[in-house]
Amino acid sequence: MTIPVFLVLVSFIQCGCFVSSLYHPLDPLNPTEIDQIRLTIQESHLGSLPNLTYHFVDLEEPDKEDVLKWLSSSNESKLNRRAQVVVRAGGETREVIVDINNDSIVSDHVYSGHGYPPLTFNELFLASKLPLQYPEFKESILRRSLNLSEVSCVPFTVGWYGEAITRRTLKVACFYREGSVNVFARPIEGITLLVDVDSMKITTYNDRLRAPVPKAEGTDFQSSKGKPNSSTLNDTNVGKGFTIDDHEVKWANWVFHVGFNARAGVIISTASIFDAKKKEFRRVLYRGHISETFVPYSDPTNEWYFRTFMDIGEFGFGRAADTLQPLIDCPENAAYMDGYMVGADGKAQKVPGAICIFERHSGDVAWRHTEINVPGKVIRSGEQQTTLVVRMIANVGNYDYILDWEFKRSGSIAVGVALTGVPAMKATSYTNTKERTENVYGTLVTENTVAVNHDHFLRKCNFFFLSHGCTLSSRFGQKEPVVMLVTDLS
Ligand SMILES: *[C@@H]1O[C@H](CO)[C@@H](O)[C@H](O)[C@H]1NC(C)=O
Ligand SMILES: *[C@@H]1O[C@H](CO)[C@@H](O)[C@H](O)[C@H]1NC(C)=O
Ligand SMILES: *[C@@H]1O[C@H](CO)[C@@H](O)[C@H](O)[C@H]1NC(C)=O
Ligand SMILES: *[C@@H]1O[C@H](CO)[C@@H](O)[C@H](O)[C@H]1NC(C)=O
Ligand SMILES: *[C@@H]1O[C@H](CO)[C@@H](O)[C@H](O)[C@H]1NC(C)=O
Ligand SMILES: *[C@@H]1O[C@H](CO)[C@@H](O)[C@H](O)[C@H]1NC(C)=O
């Protein structure tokens, strides 16, 4: 739903890191390349533009045809590396293509279409701090007899209702921490602030209603079990049943590439499976990733109607990717991969352990058979189901999306999404359901607390070698996605 401003800002590490010797044309941009891109932009005519900020930087993928040619030939020469860069400067959005081989700008144009690039962490962070300095907000807090030092504010995107949009804006809602680390459990209801992002100023302030702040007691979500003994973050490949060479993963009859970007998070590409009969690899998936999520809340009141989050386009699963906790987020036999992206200043940021890869022994049967019709024999055989999972977790505000790509020996790939975290909660004066005299657009989950009705829709795109399809899936709690396949044979 919202943004992990506080947690994520501290977990980023600015880096001047490694350069790998292995090469795949779909390798994500490495820190050296990210530095190079920033220097190229800085030294060009763009460098002197006012307030230059980087909103998105990613590999501009080579054409599929060229990648396929590269895959099927033993020619080791590298394909041209390019990056797509979205910057804002002087109130304009620019789309730039940078050639990384010769450090030049291939194209640059001002974008004038609908919408704005994703918000930077810096913008979200600054917006979250504005209310605490705003006199009318301070008065509202005082009138509610609350302590301003215990208030945390969270920026929300504003949705779109068909109006012409000419400014980048955010709405900010605030929460009361006192006595709890579960910020989202203690909303300060009734106050909405509108922030103009380019000038970073509050432009509209509305204190419309009051409701008691839900109690802190019983809201702590921290596990009493403590941290498990973390053991093996380093010995990447030992005894795990698979190998990782830079971004290429080999397991059982599979070989595939694992990439990462700020928008989608994990990107699986060029996945092939070995066909033992034909003694050759069969191409299964060219590229697969989550392309969007849509999380509309179904509460039409002033403080809630606009909460219609597109967690990927507005914030980014990659940017919300959390460092995985060994033995909690991933099992003991997992290996880890870091993710890199670009900060508002154009510098590389590292998310350590953003992806984990592990063999799953589910306890299920892959196949089995007993044959009693061979005279004098009972032949009983089979194999246990073992799969390989590539996992990331996007911590988008109150929600944590656990995203799995699971490879099976049978040649299929299953994509799973699990949701955990805490629900988005609204404060209400009701303490039990019998008191309720009006629609609260949700479920009263405890005194003074409504978990507001909403859906999570996830859209995943698979670009197969011969066709591609996107599936729209998963209302909250529904395990099997509703599948809608679009085929395009071009
Ligand atoms: C290898 O590929 C590159 C780029 O596609 C091409 O220029 C070169 O001629 C190829 N070399 C051989 C030996 O095929
Ligand atoms: C640059 O940013 C500052 C601070 O947000 C703002 O006051 C100023 O107007 C911006 N300048 C331009 C040319 O956008
Ligand atoms: C850089 O390389 C690209 C293609 O590889 C080419 O189109 C462009 O003209 C080159 N730019 C410079 C400044 O050499
Ligand atoms: C307000 O909160 C701050 C920080 O948590 C604390 O130091 C201070 O004593 C509190 N003030 C009052 C009046 O309770
Ligand atoms: C962690 O290891 C220590 C020492 O080996 C052991 O005493 C402790 O019980 C372990 N904790 C957990 C949660 O397994
Ligand atoms: C992993 O390796 C690094 C550097 O070699 C070391 O500092 C760190 O303690 C190791 N971590 C674990 C969990 O063994």
Give the tens place of pLDDT for each residue, 298-356. 999 999 999 999 999 999 999 999 999 999 999 989 999 999 999 999 999 999 999 99
How far, in Å, CA of 459 to CA of 474, rounded?
A: 9
Closest CA to 98 of 51, 48, 41: 41
Residue 236 has pLDDT above 60, yes or no: no
* 106 CA distance to ligand 3 middle (Å): 7
Of the segments 193-202, 228-237, 289-298, which one has the largest average pLDDT value?
A: 193-202
DSSP string, 142-153: HHTT--GGGEEE
Which residue carries 């895959």 as its tokens?
71
DSSP string, 419-444: EEE---EEE-S-SSGGG--S--SEEE
Phi and psi for 211 in degrees, rounded to 5? -145, 150
Confidence category of residue 472, pLDDT binned at 50, 70, 90: low
CATH 3.10.450.40 fits 121-207, yes or no: yes
What residues line ligand 5, using a CB cutoff of 6 Å? 228-229
Selected residue with higher pLDDT from 164 and 460: 164
- Mean pLDDT of the 355-367 span: 94
Report yes or no: 422 and 410 within 8 Å, Cβ to Cβ.
no
| CA distances from residue 359 to 256, 362, 403 in whole angstroms, order as listed | 15, 9, 15
Confidence category of residue 460, pLDDT binned at 50, 70, 90: confident
Give residue limits of the domains in the chain: 5-116+231-473, 121-207
Q: Which helix (H) or strand (E) holds 199?
A: none
Q: Which residue, judged by its Cα, is nearest atom 7 of ligand 3? A: 106
Report yes or no: 81 and 100 within 8 Å, Cβ to Cβ.
yes
- Mean pLDDT of the 201-205 span: 98
User: What is Dmax (Cα atoms) for the chain?
Assistant: 91
How far, in Å, CA of 418 to CA of 401, rounded?
A: 6
| CA distances from residue 197 to 97, 118, 140, 171, 237 in whole angstroms, order as listed | 25, 12, 23, 10, 45
| CA distances from residue 429 to 201, 217, 426, 435 in whole angstroms, order as listed | 32, 17, 10, 9
What residues line ligand 3, using a CB cutoff of 6 Å? 80, 99, 101-102, 104
Q: What pLDDT, on a 0 to 100 scale, did the predictor assign at position 261?
A: 96
Q: What pLDDT, on a 0 to 100 scale, did the predictor assign at position 226?
A: 77
Percent of the chain with pLDDT strictly greater than 70: 88
**Helix, strand and coil in the chain, % to nearest 5:** 15, 40, 45
Q: What pLDDT, on a 0 to 100 scale, did the predictor assign at position 21?
A: 56
What is the model's pTM?
Answer: 0.87
Ligand nearest to the CA of 223: 5
375 lines ligand 2 (CB under 6 A): no
Q: What pLDDT, on a 0 to 100 scale, did the predictor assign at position 3?
A: 42
How far, in Å, CA of 258 to CA of 336, rounded?
A: 12
200 lines ligand 2 (CB under 6 A): yes
Check if 5-116+231-473 and 121-207 are the same fold: no
**Residues 6 or more apart in contact with residue 137 via CB below 8 angstroms:** 131, 174, 191, 193, 205
Report yes or no: 51 and 363 within 8 Å, Cβ to Cβ.
no
Q: Which residue, judged by its Cα, is nearest atom 10 of ligand 1? A: 75
Q: What pLDDT, on a 0 to 100 scale, did the predictor assign at position 5?
A: 38
Confidence category of residue 471, pLDDT binned at 50, 70, 90: low
- Mean pLDDT of the 68-79 span: 84
Residue 20 has pLDDT above 60, yes or no: no
Phi and psi for 242 in degrees, rounded to 5? -150, 165
Residue 466 has pLDDT above 80, yes or no: no
Q: What pLDDT, on a 0 to 100 scale, did the predictor assign at position 360?
A: 94
The architecture (CATH level 2) of 5-116+231-473 comes to Distorted Sandwich (2.70)
How far, in Å, CA of 62 to CA of 250, rounded?
A: 23
Ligand nearest to the CA of 148: 4
How far, in Å, CA of 341 to CA of 347, rounded?
A: 8
Q: What pLDDT, on a 0 to 100 scale, did the predictor assign at position 237?
A: 54
Nearest atom (ligand 5) to Cα of 227:
13
Phi and psi for 197 in degrees, rounded to 5? -75, -40
Residues facing 337 on adjacent strands:
355
pLDDT digits (tens, 9 = 90+) for 112-154: 998 999 999 999 999 999 999 999 999 999 999 999 999 999 9
Residue 440 has pLDDT above 60, yes or no: yes
| CA terminus-to-terminus distance, the chain | 36
How far, in Å, CA of 26 to CA of 269, rounded?
A: 8
pLDDT digits (tens, 9 = 90+) for 23-71: 899 999 999 999 999 999 999 999 999 999 999 999 999 999 999 999 8
Q: What pLDDT, on a 0 to 100 scale, did the predictor assign at position 43?
A: 97
